[in-house]
Structure 1
């Protein structure tokens, strides 16, 4: 067998070629997993902030502004790095209070134009104190 044919059949460099092809794909998969874990975490942060804000805004003496302040405090304490460019909206009527927290999730996966959002909404009846007869105290 000639030396040329032996060189063609040899496995020299096969590991390097496999490494060059497989490692970037594995890294991209790992980054995708981390990115979507951050999206999941950011949704939980937004939902938590909305629930905390609802608890403040729906009370007898609470206002929608009080709920917004509480949501911003919760976001600052938990998710200022994960959930960026956040916005809080609160609406309080005589019957129902609703708080919505939106934001953009920090980007780990290097894809141009990839913008992921997370939001949380909490809604509940507005609390009011009434007497047994149904009137105001």
Structure 2
């Protein structure tokens, strides 16, 4: 011990500072405490985007199905609504909540709109889903060509 105290006070202080700066004790724990929640948040954000994307595709598929049923020559808005609702009942139970389907048909066109909300993976995140499609009513037009 006497040899250790033989260093001048300035030398002992420098040695303590070097020892404190060279130690890495606890560094990994601090990095994990900071990085793990950020990594989990990023992963949940990716999953949330995937759920929203899937819910959007389900709404688009149901809108297309409703349009196809309602725009036939003998189709009705009710038939389109039933076809779209069947597909929503089959596919939207997971990713799409509170879906609302509206089908409007007049003499020449059909419009289908679906609104809802994607299931929330991240608390407090409410992503709205909207799909809309419009098409002309199919009708038979006789051929008027009279060329021999």
Fold in common (TM above 0.5): yes
Q: After TM superposition, which residue ranges in structure 1, 4 or more long, deviate above 6 angstroms?
A: none
Corresponding residue for 1:10? 23
CA deviation profile, 1:49-108 (whole Å, cap 9, x unmatched): 000000001112211111111111111111211011000000001110011111110000
Question: In the alignment, does 2:90 pair up with 1:87?
Answer: no
Gaps of 5+ in 1: none
Aligned pair count? 131
Corresponding residue for 2:116? 103
Rg: which structure is higher? 2
- RMSD of equivalent CA atoms: 1.7
1:1-137 mapped onto 2 (5 Å cutoff): 5=17, 6-7=19-20, 9-110=22-123, 112=124, 114-133=125-144
Partner Cα separation in structure 2 for residue 132 and residue 94 of structure 1: 21
Gaps of 5+ in 2: 1-11
Relative contact order, higher structure (CA 8 A, sep 6+): 1
Partner Cα separation in structure 1 for residue 92 and residue 101 of structure 2: 13
SS of the equivalent of 2:72 reads coil
**1:4 deviation in Å?**
5.5
| Greater shift in the superposed pair: 33-42 or 5-14 | 5-14
